[in-house]
């Protein structure tokens, strides 16, 4: 392991000193006005001169780090995205010289304001993700602070080891952040908090000196020995006070770990600090003591099997009354989910299906709450877990219990449990679930009484809360519904927090069981610990950081209760000015208005996951906050709420930085379903662009891409010439120069129009249609631009298959679905295009008395079923809803009506394996099974649905010179490797862009599902 203490001192740039008063005498931050833009520029230049490559001090860049998962927003001084942990030493030394505050940051998933401050932010999350060494035998590892928990546990899987603390944000939080917050998760009943698993830390102190902190290092390092000495001098006289005031429960992260320091002192050889480990004291310090460069962690054996019993109750009270019984079965976790969350999950596209994993109430009443009771097992056949299920059932004979051993069912159930907090943000109304008393903890046996009193306090203030999370250790998440825009509610917030602090003290509990103090709780420290202990903690913090420059104010210094209601992300007076419901292009009723649509992101950061789902393809490759859904949502919110405008009020539609942030959004719609708050960036992006185009006009490239149907029609008319031309290098050069179409991208070939094929088929039929044919139910085939003019064989297969099932197929020239214009933000034209096509489609449906509209291309169908429903266009809502409800992908239609088809041809025995890659819009809106179900009927076991994300093409996204490379990198994330791995299988993809991308990325020709079904028809 490299020795941090050997990092050489750098020579500082020669610019004049920057005098930034960090804290006012009251200990409050001076706020963003304390530093001007010119000083920021000077600091940024200095840092660049010191070799920092990614320095973000411009307002729109740094503001992406002004929020986290909390309610706060604070403009930082600037941000350094670190290339490697060691760069932090350079920055911290520079800040020490210039007396600048410093704030280390990981995934930014904190809930109390501890990662936002007027400071130079050090972002470890982008590049400091190295797993340096794993010693499986000694059960230890060394990691960089930006390593994501799930990333580490994936690397440990083959060694049957794991890092035990498991906060809900394991897919995107960082080890540095877990240490900073002393995180713990569902299994803390077995494993405790992060502080129980940190063996050593390499850190840089506020003065720029580097140290290795571990047990025994105080004896080696004079600086650490001096700190330990000073801490002992302050803490020992307060020994009794510390023992009396610190709670005796698993979960508590209030203040600093003085209780653990005392224990280490007690274990040390008299006159030495040989058992003191200052790393333990850094755990939970919320970035206020030292910056972590590397961590040595303890690992535990991973269970070979897990089992999950979900127990249903009529009410939260009933579930808590049964808690002791559940705990008596020695579970690994007991987690509560209440009815508010269950109802919200039922209304969410992604989570509704996971509710089915819960038990059905036997009483006939609705589920009032469920408890997730998890067991770890070590028997290969799972018999020990089954025995536990039996024990639980016998002890709770009247409760409905659903037991799961299937890994994918359990994964889905836990996905729902993890989404509890973000799901709450979907509650309608001005009042939102606000996190400021949300992780109080008491001994589990006190929970029923504690919760009753908690509810009474909320009721006194005219509100209520949802209840969920870690019942096993008495740490429930409770978010009262309040409106941050209301003066009265903000006053209530302060009063509730004080009353709850007193309640916690009465029950011997913790103010914070896992989320820390941040901005919302620091002022309560004296009320909770008493003045002498807080004074001791302040004096100790000053030993580590004499100027109070590390995350200033946080944790122990702020005393004013107003801190908790200041620097809010939602501004009390914030309105979206200059724009109202009448001049936006989309309807925002579902989001409760345009203003709340732009404020829907809660910052929890699920969109920064790297290992699951599609959201967010560009972030998964670039790992840049700016290109996460959260970054895009933040930029849009800041621009639209006037925070990037000169007057600070009017929305700014022409911000080049916001445009740049949106440029790499693929409009894949993954966020619309995967984001628990259903933040719909594709829609907001189109709206933002459209508002911008009101003044700038629509650029040539956007207009050309939006005219895809006309261009494809022209190409099809002269397809031999057009195809030759698109392979002709000078022509490709010209296309690149004028339209930005990258020369490396192959062009989709044109073919003879499927409309002409259909017309000639009808006119050359020598046999007049018989009565049966005339009477056959009609379906309208929505002939999209690609199946019509580029891939007519797909349309042919659809027509022939539908006819084989006994349908009369009508394929009129209806026009374009408007997908390309919507994605380009050319909404003025899209309104006309979509209305024209919708009217033509409605007329065709009426004329033919069609039983359904069937489509081939998921992105066209998503326009009809999703975008058309919200775009304000001149077609009646009920007609659009009717179209939505009768429209399907062709393969989905054939599967859904399986028992009602006029004819049902049999399939040939399959001779091939097929792998299916679903389209992003399909996955987001109606699931890959819409294609897979029919294929399963035809192919049986020989169809595999690939677990792939976005292919990276996304319509015209992957065609342009500025996005081609990213497009191919996104393909390499999951689609290309999965296709390559299925070397002997036929590749199937319903999306035309996906098929094109698969061809360019793997040289494999993918088929539309209906082509596969067609060739299996006997
Ligand atoms: C939906 C949701 C669910 C959550 N569930 C849980 C849960 O079950 N259990 C739980 O404990 N928490 C939970 N949290 C809180 C949070 O996710 C965890 O505390 C998480 O471990 C923080 O990691 P992070 O990388 O996001 O840290 P950040 O939020 O970036 O930082 C956390 C603190 O650590 C400090 N820090 C970060 N990096 C360093 C470094 N290199 N050196 C020194 N200090 C550093 C920061 O200054 C900050 O004070 C939840 C949050 C959300 C939004
Ligand atoms: S976009 Fe959605 S997933 Fe991402 S931080 Fe915001 S609310 Fe969370
Ligand atoms: S639409 Fe897709 S690319 Fe755009 S923000 Fe959402 S998930 Fe990311």
Ligand closest to 419 (CA) is 1
- Residue among 647, 652, 649 at smallest CA distance from 688: 652
Q: Which of 615, 660, 867, when mutated, tests ligand 3's pocket best, judged by the most ligand atoms within 8 Å of its CB? A: 615
418 C-beta closer than 6 A to ligand 3 = no
As a whole number, mean pLDDT of residues 744-764 equals 89
* Residue 493: HSE in the Cβ half-sphere, 13 Å Cα cutoff: 28
The better pLDDT of the pair 396, 423 is held by 396
Instruction: Compute the Cα dihedral for 397, 400, 406, 411 and give only its sign.
Output: negative
Predicted pLDDT of residue 26: 38
What pLDDT, in 10s, does the model give residues 105-130?
Answer: 999 999 999 999 999 999 999 999 99
Residue nearest to atom 5 of ligand 3 (CA): 629
What is 768-786 written as a DSSP string?
PP-HHHHHSPEEEEE--HH
627, burial (CB in 10 Å: exposed 0-12, middle 13-18, buried 19+): buried
CB atoms within 10 A of CB 445: 12
Is residue 631 lining ligand 3, measured as CB closer than 6 Å? no
C-alpha 107 to ligand 1 mean position (Å)? 7
| 652 vs 807, more confident | 807
% of the chain beyond a pLDDT of 70: 94
Instruction: List the structure tokens of 606.
Output: 């699920």
Q: Does 670 sit in the ligand 2 pocket, CB within 6 Å? A: no
Average pLDDT over every residue of 137-143: 98
Lookup result for tokens 């700014």? 652
Say whether 530 sits in a helix, a strand or coil.
coil
Ligand 2 pocket, mutate which of 610, 679, 681 (most atoms under 8 A from CB): 679
Mean of per-residue pLDDT scores for the chain? 92
pLDDT of 324 strictly over 60? yes
Return d(Cα 464, Cα 313) in angstroms, integer: 20
DSSP 276-338: --HHHHHTT-TTSSEEEEEEEEE-EEPPSEEEEEEEEESSHHHHHHTHHHHHTT--SEEEEEE
543-601 per-position pLDDT tens digit = 999 999 999 999 999 999 999 999 999 876 545 555 666 789 999 988 888 888 888 89
Cα 838 to ligand 1 centroid, rounded to whole Å: 48
- Confirm if 599 and 570 have CB atoms less than 8 A apart: yes
SS3 120: strand
CA–centroid distance, 602 to ligand 1, in Å, is: 15
Any atom of ligand 3 within 6 Å of the Cβ of 681: yes
* Whether the Cβ atoms of residue 888 and residue 963 lie closer than 8 Å to each other: no
> Ligand 2 centroid vs 671 CA: distance in angstroms?
8
- Closest among 835, 820, 810 to 754, alpha carbons compared: 810
User: CB of 632 closer than 6 A to ligand 2?
Assistant: no
- The four Cα atoms 123, 124, 128, 130 give a dihedral, to 10 degrees, of -160
Mutate to test the pocket of ligand 1, among 173, 336, 424, 438 (most ligand atoms within 8 A of CB): 173
Q: Are 275 and 268 in contact (CB under 8 A)?
A: yes
- Nearest ligand to the C-alpha atom of residue 68: 1
For ligand 2, the distance from its centroid to the CA atom of residue 724, given in whole angstroms, is 46
Contact 254, 528 (CB under 8 A): yes
Provide the 3-class DSSP secondary structure of residue 884.
helix
| Pocket probe mutation, ligand 1, options 64, 121, 172, 183, max atoms within 8 Å of Cβ | 183
Q: How far is CA 305 from the centre of its chain?
A: 28
Pocket probe for ligand 3: among 630, 632, 867, the residue whose CB has the most ligand atoms within 8 Å is 632
| Shortest-distance Cα residue to atom 6 of ligand 3 | 671
Phi, psi of 477 (to 5 degrees): -95, 125
pLDDT at 736 over 80: yes
Whether 510 contacts 438, CB under 8 Å: no
Q: How confident is the model at residue 108, as a pLDDT?
A: 98
User: Coil, helix or strand for 47?
Assistant: helix
What local confidence, expressed as pLDDT, does residue 17 receive? Answer: 46
Closest ligand 3 atom, residue 669 Cα: 1
CA pair distance 809, 760, nearest whole angstrom: 14
Residue 916 clears pLDDT 80, i.e. is over it: yes
Q: How many CB atoms lie within 10 A of CB 200?
A: 22
The Cα–Cα gap between 747 and 876 comes to 38
48-57, 322-331, 417-426, 940-949: least confidently modelled range = 417-426
Residue 774 has pLDDT above 70, yes or no: no
Q: Is 607 in the pocket of ligand 2 (CB under 6 A)?
A: yes
Residue closest via CA to ligand 2's atom 6 equals 601
CA dist 101 and 26 (Å) reads 17
Q: Which atom of ligand 1 is nearest to the CA of 85?
A: 41
Name the residue among 874, 870, 866, 871 with its Cα closest to residue 842: 874
**pLDDT tens-digit readout, 26-58:** 344 434 346 899 999 999 999 999 999 999 999
The pairing of strands 852-855 and 887-889 is parallel
422: Cβ below 6 Å to ligand 2?
yes
Among the bound ligands, name the one nearest to the CA of residue 684: 3
Q: Is the pLDDT of residue 897 over 60?
A: yes
Using a pLDDT cut of 90, give the percent of the chain over it: 83
Where does ligand 1 bind, in terms of residues with CB under 6 Å?
Answer: 68-69, 103-111, 114-115, 124, 145, 167-169, 173-174, 176-178, 180-181, 183-185, 286-287, 291-292, 421-422, 514-515, 551, 604
CA dist 563 and 464 (Å) reads 23
Query: What are 687's two structure tokens?
Result: 């709206």
Output the CA 539–ligand 1 centroid distance in Å: 25
Taking 50 as the threshold, does the pLDDT of residue 420 lie above it?
yes
Question: Does 697 score more than 90 pLDDT?
Answer: yes
Regarding the beta carbon of 914 and ligand 3, being less than 6 Å apart is answered no
For 485-509, how does the pLDDT look when each residue is reduced to its tens digit (9 = 90+)?
Answer: 899 999 999 999 999 999 999 999 9
Q: Which residues contact 1 (CB under 8 A, 6 or more apart)?
A: 132, 133, 142, 202, 294, 296
**pLDDT tens-digit readout, 802-842:** 999 999 999 999 999 999 999 999 999 999 999 999 999 99
Kindly report, residue by residue over 230-257, the tens digit of the pLDDT: 999 999 999 999 999 999 999 999 999 9
Residue 782 sits at φ, ψ, to 5 deg, of: -80, 100
Nearest atom in ligand 2 to 628's CA: 4
Cα–Cα distance for residue pair 131/241, rounded to 1 Å? 41
Candidate from 137-141, 206-210, 553-557 with smallest mean pLDDT: 553-557
- Compute the average pLDDT of residues 261-269: 97
Q: Are 106 and 176 in contact (CB under 8 A)?
A: yes
pTM: 0.92
Give the number of C-alpha atoms closer than 13 A to the C-alpha of residue 618, restricted to the C-beta side. 29
pLDDT tens track for 78-103: 999 999 999 999 999 999 999 999 99
- Give dist(CA 999, CA 993) in Å, integer: 10
Within 8 A by CB and 6+ apart from 734, the residues are none
CA 301 to chain centroid, in Å, comes to: 29
Whether pLDDT at 9 is above 50: no
Give the separation between CA 109 and CA 68, rounded to whole angstroms: 6
Tell me the mean pLDDT in the region 253-282: 97
Alpha-carbon distance of 753 to 1014, in angstroms, equals 20
Q: Which of 812, 874, 872, 806 is nearest to 846 (CA)?
A: 812
How confident is the model at residue 649, as a pLDDT?
Answer: 78
647 vs 625, which has greater pLDDT?
Answer: 625
Q: Which of 422, 614, 670 has most ligand 2 atoms within 8 Å of its beta carbon, as the pocket-test mutant?
A: 422
The whole-angstrom separation of Cα 849 and Cα 844 is 8
Does 206 contact ligand 3 (Cβ within 6 A)? no
Ligand nearest to the CA of 955: 3
Say which DSSP state 553 is in: T
Cα 340 to Cα 322, 359, 493, 636, 884, distances in angstroms:
20, 16, 21, 30, 29
Tell me how far CA of residue 987 lies from CA of 22, 497, 990, in angstroms: 60, 57, 10
CA of 112 to the centre of ligand 1 (A): 10
Q: Which residue, by CA, sits nearest to atom 1 of ligand 2? A: 630
Asked whether 883 lines ligand 3 (CB < 6 A), one says no
User: Is residue 669 within 6 Å of ligand 3 at its C-beta?
Assistant: yes
Confidence of residue 870 (pLDDT cuts 50, 70, 90): very high
pLDDT at residue number 32: 39
């Amino acid at each position: 392991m490299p020795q941090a203490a050997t990092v050489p001192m750098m020579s500082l740039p020669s610019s004049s000193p920057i005098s930034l008063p960090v804290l006012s005498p009251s200990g409050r931050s001076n706020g963003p006005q304390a530093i001007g833009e010119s000083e920021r520029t000077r600091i940024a230049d200095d840092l660049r001169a010191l070799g920092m490559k990614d320095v973000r001090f411009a307002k729109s860049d740094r503001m992406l780090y002004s929020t986290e998962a909390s309610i706060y927003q604070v403009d930082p001084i600037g941000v350094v995205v670190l290339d490697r942990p060691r760069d932090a030493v350079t920055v911290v030394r520079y800040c020490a010289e210039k007396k600048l505050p410093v704030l280390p940051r990981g995934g930014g998933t904190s809930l109390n304001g501890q990662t936002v401050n007027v400071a130079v932010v050090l972002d470890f999350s982008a590049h400091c993700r190295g797993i340096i060494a794993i010693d499986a035998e000694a059960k230890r590892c060394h990691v960089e602070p930006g390593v994501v928990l799930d990333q580490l546990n994936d690397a440990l899987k083959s060694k049957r080891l794991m890092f035990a603390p498991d906060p809900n944000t394991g897919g995107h939080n960082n080890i540095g952040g877990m240490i900073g917050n002393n995180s713990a998760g569902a299994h803390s009943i077995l494993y405790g908090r992060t502080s129980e698993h940190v063996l050593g830390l390499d850190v840089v102190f506020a003065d720029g000196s580097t140290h290795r902190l571990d047990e025994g290092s105080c004896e080696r390092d004079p600086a650490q020995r001096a700190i330990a000495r000073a801490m002992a001098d302050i803490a020992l006289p307060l020994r009794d006070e510390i023992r009396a005031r610190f709670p005796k429960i698993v979960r508590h992260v209030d203040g600093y770990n003085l209780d653990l320091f005392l224990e280490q002192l007690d274990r040390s050889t008299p006159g030495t600090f040989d058992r003191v480990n200052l790393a333990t004291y850094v755990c939970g310090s919320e970035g206020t003591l030292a910056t972590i460069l590397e961590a040595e962690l303890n690992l535990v054996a991973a269970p070979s099997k897990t089992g999950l019993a979900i127990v249903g109750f009529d009410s939260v009270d009933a579930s808590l009354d049964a808690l002791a019984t559940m705990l008596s079965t020695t579970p690994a976790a007991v987690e509560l989910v209440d009815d508010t969350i269950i109802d919200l999950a039922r209304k969410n596209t992604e989570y509704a299906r996971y509710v089915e994993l819960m038990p059905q109430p036997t009483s006939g009443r609705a589920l009032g709450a469920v408890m997730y009771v998890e067991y770890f097992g070590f028997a290969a056949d799972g018999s020990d877990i089954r025995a536990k299920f039996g024990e639980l059932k016998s002890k709770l004979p009247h409760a409905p219990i659903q037991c799961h051993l299937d890994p994918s069912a359990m994964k889905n159930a836990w996905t729902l449990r993890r989404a509890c907090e973000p799901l709450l943000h979907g509650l309608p109304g001005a009042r939102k679930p606000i996190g400021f008393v949300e992780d109080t903890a008491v001994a589990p046996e006190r929970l029923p009484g504690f919760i009753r009193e908690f509810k009474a306090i909320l009721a006194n203030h005219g509100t209520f809360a949802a209840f969920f999370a870690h019942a096993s250790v008495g740490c429930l998440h409770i978010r009262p519904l309040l409106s941050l825009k209301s003066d009265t509610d903000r006053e209530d917030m302060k009063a509730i927090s004080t009353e709850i602090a007193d309640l916690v003290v009465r029950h011997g509990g913790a103010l914070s069981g896992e989320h820390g103090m941040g901005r919302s709780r620091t002022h309560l420290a004296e009320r909770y610990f008493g003045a002498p202990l807080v004074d001791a903690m302040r004096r100790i913090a000053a030993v580590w950081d004499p100027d109070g420059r590390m995350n200033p104010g946080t944790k122990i210094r702020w005393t004013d209760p107003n801190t908790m209601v200041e620097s809010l992300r939602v501004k009390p007076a914030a309105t979206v000015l200059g724009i109202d419901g009448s001049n936006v292009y989309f309807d925002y009723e579902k989001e409760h208005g345009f203003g709340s649509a732009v404020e829907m992101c809660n910052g929890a950061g699920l969109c920064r996951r790297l290992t699951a789902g599609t959201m967010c393809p560009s972030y998964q490759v670039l790992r840049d906050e700016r290109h996460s859904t959260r970054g895009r949502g933040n930029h849009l919110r800041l621009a639209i709420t006037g925070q990037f405008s000169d007057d600070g009020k009017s929305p700014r539609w022409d911000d080049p930085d916001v445009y740049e942030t949106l440029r790499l959004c693929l409009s894949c719609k993954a966020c619309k379903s995967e984001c628990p708050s259903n933040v719909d960036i594709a829609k907001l992006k189109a709206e933002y662009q459209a508002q911008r185009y009101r003044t700038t006009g629509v650029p040539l490239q956007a207009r050309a891409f939006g005219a895809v149907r006309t261009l494809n029609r022209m190409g099809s008319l002269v397809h031999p010439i057009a195809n030759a031309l698109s392979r002709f290098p000078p022509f490709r050069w010209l296309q690149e120069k004028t339209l930005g179409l990258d020369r490396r991208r192959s062009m989709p070939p044109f073919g003879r129009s499927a409309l002409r094929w259909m017309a000639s088929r009808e006119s050359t039929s020598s046999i007049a249609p018989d009565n049966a044919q005339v009477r056959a139910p009609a379906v309208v085939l929505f002939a999209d631009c690609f199946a019509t003019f580029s891939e007519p064989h797909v349309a042919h297969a659809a027509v022939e298959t539908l006819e084989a099932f006994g349908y009369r197929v009508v394929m009129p020239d209806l026009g374009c679905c408007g997908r390309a214009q919507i994605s380009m933000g050319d909404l003025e034209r899209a309104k006309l295009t979509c209305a024209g096509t919708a009217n033509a489609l409605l007329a065709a449906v009426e004329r033919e008395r069609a039983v359904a509209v069937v489509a081939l291309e998921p992105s066209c169908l998503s326009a009809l079923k999703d975008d058309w429903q919200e775009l304000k266009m001149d077609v009646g809502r009920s007609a659009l809803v009717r179209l939505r409800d009768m429209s399907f992908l062709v393969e989905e239609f054939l599967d859904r009506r399986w028992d009602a088809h006029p004819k049902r041809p049999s399939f040939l025995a399959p001779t091939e394996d097929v792998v299916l890659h679903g389209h992003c819009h399909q996955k987001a809106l109606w699931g890959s099974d819409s294609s897979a179900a029919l294929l399963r009927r035809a192919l049986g076991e020989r169809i595999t649905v690939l677990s792939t994300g976005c292919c990276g093409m996304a319509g015209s996204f992957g065609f342009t010179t500025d996005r081609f490379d990213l497009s191919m990198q996104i393909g390499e994330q999951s689609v290309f490797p999965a296709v390559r791995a299925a070397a002997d299988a036929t590749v199937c993809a319903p999306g035309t862009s996906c098929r094109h991308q698969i061809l360019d990325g793997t040289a494999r020709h993918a088929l539309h599902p209906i082509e596969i079904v067609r060739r299996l028809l006997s």
